[in-house]
Structure 1
Amino acid sequence: MYFIITCMVFKLSLIFLAAKIIFACDEICPLDKPYCSDAGCISDCPEPFYINGSDCVGDCRNMFVTENRTCVDSCPNNTYSKETLKQVYATQYLERKCITCSNEDEYIMNNTCVNMCPEKWRTIDQNHCKSDCPGGKPFKLKKTISNIIHFDCVSKCPRLEDNGICVDTCSTNKVMFGSSCLINCPSSDPILKSNECISECPSPAMSPERLNSTCIYQCPADKPFVLINRCVSQCPGEAKLKMYKDGATICVDKCQEVDYRHNDFCLNTCPDSTVSVNNSCVHACPRTRSFSCKVKNGHICGTNQKELDHTVCVHTCSENMYILNSSCVYTCPYGMPVFNKECSDICPVDNPYLYNRTVMEGCSEYDGCKNVRYLLKCIGKCPDDSYVYNNVCMNVCPNNTFYNDYTCVEQCPHLKNLTQSSSLTFHLGRYKDINGIQF
C-alpha cells in the first residue's frame, strides 16, 4: 500500500514539474534566451541538464544523448549508445549516451557499447559481439574479459587450430597436420613423426605399413631391406643392388661412382680377399690389369703410402714402386734386392753384385734430408770406391778379412806381404777412420 501511494506521489510530482516548465515560459522564448526551463527562458542549458528541442530538461528519458547533451531519437552514424546510471535530486535514471565505442575494453552489441559481450554472443569480430565468426575469419582465438572467456575471430591461428579454436598444442588424442589438429592423419600424409602427419619418413627412418603409425628406424628380421623408405623381404629386380647407409640395407638400381660392387652389394672398399677392377670386386686381377696395388679409398696407385684400405688392379706399377709377385710395393722386403724394378730372391748372372744404395729425399743445405732410405740393388760392377765380399759391394771389408786390391779375402794370397794402413774417408761433410790391413 505504501509503495502504491509513493508511486502516485512521484507521478504527481512529475506532472506538476512538467506543468511548471510549460507554464514557466511564454509560448516562444526570445532568441537571446532560447531554452525553456522550470525557471523560465534561459540563454544557456548548462550541465547536468539536457537539450530536448527548445527545452532544458534534467532527463532525456527513453531518448539518446549526444556528445553535446542533446536528446535524440537515435544515435548518429558510427556512434553507439552506452548506458550510465545518473541521479537527479532523489531520482535515479539511465543515461543512454551516444559514443564512438573505440576503447580497447569496449564492444558493440546491437548498437550498444558494452564492456563485456552477453552469453551466446561472446565471439568478437571488429569489436562487435557475434554469435559466430564470419567466413573470412573462421578461427577463434581465446581471450579473457572480466574473467569471462571470449573469442576473437581471426583468419589464421598463430600456431594450431583444433575444431576452429586456436591452440598451442594438440590434445593427446589428436595428431597435427599442417596447422590443424585431427583425429587421424589424411591419406596424403599418413605417417606420424613426433605426433605430426608427414608424407614420408626422413632418412634414415623407414615408413610403416599401417596408417597413423610412427617411422621405423630398424627393419624387422623378416624384412631386412629398405625399398623407397619401406622395409621389404628382398630387393626387386629393378633395384637388386644393396648398399649400407645409416645402419640400414637399402635397395638401389646402381652403385655410386665411388663405390665398389661385390655380390650385389655396393661397398666403400673391396673386402681383403678381393681386388678391384672397374669398380667391381673380383678374386684375381685379369691379364689386362695383371698387377695389384694397395691404395687408400679415393686415391690412385702410387700416390699415398698411408691408411691403405683396399687393393686395385692396374696395368703397370707407378714409377716410385717395385714389383713383388705381381703386386706393386713401395719397398722390397728386408734383404731382398731390386733388379729392373722387381724384387728378386737372387741377383741374375749378368748383374751378380749386391749394392746397398743410400737414397736421400727432400734434402736442403741447412735442414738436411727429410727422408733417408736404403735400396738393395743388383748391379753388374761394384762402384770404384767399394770392395767386393761374397758378391756384396762394401765400403770397408769386414773384421778378420784382408784387403786384396778391391776384394775382401779371409787369408792373403801366396807371395803377398801384409801392410798396416790407416785412412780417412769423407762423405757429405762427415768422415770416419778406417783401419785395415792391406797387402
Structure 2
Amino acid sequence: MFILIACVLLSCWVEVGTYRCPSTAPLYFPNLWNNCISAQECRRKSFVVYERTCVHSCPPGTFYQQEASTCYNTCPVHTIRIGSRCLNGTYCVSNNNQVLFNGTCVPSCPSSAPFTKDGVCRKECPADTVTNKSDCVSPSDCVVRGYFIDNTTCVKACPPEKQSILQGVCHSSCPPDKSVTVNGTACLSKQECTDKLGHFIYNNTCVPECPPTAMFSDQGSCTALCPKEKCVLGTDCILVTECVSRNSVIFRNECIAACPAEAPHAIDNVCYSTCPKDYVLDNETCIGLQQCISTRGLFKVIFNNTCVDSCPHEAPLNHQGMCVQSCPDDTVVEDMQCVDSSMCLHSSRFISNGTCVSKCPGRSPYLANGYCYPACPKDFVVTTPGQFQCISESECVKLKKMVFNRTCTAACPKESPYRLHNTCILECPHNTSIFPGNKCVSPSECPTMKDAVMYNGSCLPTCPSFAPYVHSRNCLSKCPTGFFAKGSDCLNNYNCQNVLYNGSCLSSCPKEAPNRKDKNCYSICPSETYSYQATCIDDNDCLEKKFYLFNGSCVPTCPSGSAGFTDYICQPNQGL
C-alpha cells in the first residue's frame, strides 16, 4: 500500500492509498463513513492495526501479535512465529523453561546475547533496565527485592566508595537537595528528616534527638546557641516576636513567664538587673529619660540613674535634666542651670569663671570677646589706657595704631620710639634696619616693603654710595652683563633706545669709541666688520657701495702710496 506523509501550513497529513488522514489519527478506518482513527482508538474498539489501516482481523498470510494488537507480514525481532501468531519470550519460558533467541526457543542464551529480558536473549539490557546477573530487570524490581543500583547493575550492597543511598541508588555523596543522611547511608532532604520522620538534623545527619553539645533546635537543625533574633523556649529556638506574643519575657536569651529577682526590670519584654541606657529608676520602675525630665512628663531631674525631685549638693547643677558637679564645655552656670555660652553672650551678659554675670567682677575686670579676665589675654591689648576693654592686637593694627606696654596707642612714646611689627620698642634688633617712621624691618619683610633694597643680607631703604645700582632689589657696584645703568636702576639692554657703552645708555657714541654696531659703541670695529662713517659694516655692504677695504675701514678710494687693489682690497706698497 502506498503511504505518503506531507506537512502543509504546519499541519501534517498521512496519505493512505488515495485517502488523507491527519497525523493525530493516521489510520484509515474503512467503515461506512471512511473515518481516520488513531492506533489507540482502533485497539480500544477491539480491532487490529495492519500497516496504516484499522481492520477487524488480520488478512490471510499475515501474523498476529496479541501484545501489540498488530498484524505483521513477518514476525518482528524478539518474537517467535507459532502458526499465524507472533509470540514473545514467555512462550519459550513456559515451554521447557527455555529462552527466545533469533526467533527460536533455545535452552540458554549464547555469549553474543547473554542477557534476558521477558525471556528474550539480548546483546545488552535496555536503557530503562539494570542487570541482575544475566537478567534485565526494572530499577524498581531491583529495589523491591532489597537490592541496590550501582550504575546499571543491581547489587546486594553498595561499594565502599558509594555508601550514600538515594531511592536505592548508590552515590559517592548525597546530592545538595538530599544532603541529610540516615544511619550514615540513606539520603534525605531536610524536610523529609524533620517533617516526615519527626527527627532533627545534626552535622548533616538525621538523628532522633539533638546531642547535649547542640541541644537546641532551630527549625529542625541542632545548634549550641540560638540565632541572634531568636530565644530559647524549652529546647526550641523561637523568634523574639513569638515570645512577646505569648506575653512572656526574655532573660539570658530564654523565653520565660516572668522576670527573676536578679533581673526584675522588664523593658520591651527583656529582663534587666538595672535600668538600661535611656531609662532611669522611678519608684522601683524603669521609665524613659524624657518621661522623667520632660515638662509633659514628671518634670524632675536625674541623679545616679534615678529620677529625683531636685539635684543633691554633691551634683548641684542641672544640665539638660541631668545632675552634674560642673557644667560641661561650651556651657556656663546660670541660676544653677547649665546654659549654652552663646545664650549668655547674646543676652548682653558676660562670662566669668564659668558663670554668666551681668558685670565683670573686680578680680577679673578686663573684658575680651564677652569673657572676664584678670588681665587682657594673650594677643589682646587694652583699647585705651585706664580702660578695661580688650581688643586683639590685629584689631589694634587695623585701627592704624601701635601696641605699647599691652595697650593700643596712637603713636610710640619717646621711651620706646621704634616700631617692630606695630609694637613699640626701645631700639631695633640687630638683624633689622631702621626705615622712615622709625620702623624696624627684617630681611624677611623686605619683599613687602615698597622701594626697599637688599645689601649684604640687610634690608635698606636706599643703596649705599659704594653700591649705588639696583638690580632685582639688590644693591650692586655696577650693573650685570646685559644691563645698563639709568640713574640708580639697572635696566635690560633691550630697554636702551640709543647706544650702549661701558654699561651706560648714551644718545650717541663717545669720541673714544666712535664706531657703532647694532646698539654698541666700539673704538675699533669687531672682527670681520669695517668702519664706515662711524658705523661698523661687513665687507659685502662695503663692496656693494663700490668702495675699498683698507686697514679696517671702508674707503671710497685707496689712499695714495698704496700698491693698488685686488678684489677691492687696497694693497700696501711693499717698497715703502
TM-score > 0.5, shorter chain as reference: no
TM band (smaller chain)? 0.3 to 0.5
TM-score by length of 1: 0.44
TM-score by length of 2: 0.36
Of structures 1 and 2, the one with the larger relative CO (CA 8 A, separation 6+) is 1
Structure richer in helix, relative to its length: 2
- Structure with the greater alpha carbon radius of gyration: 2
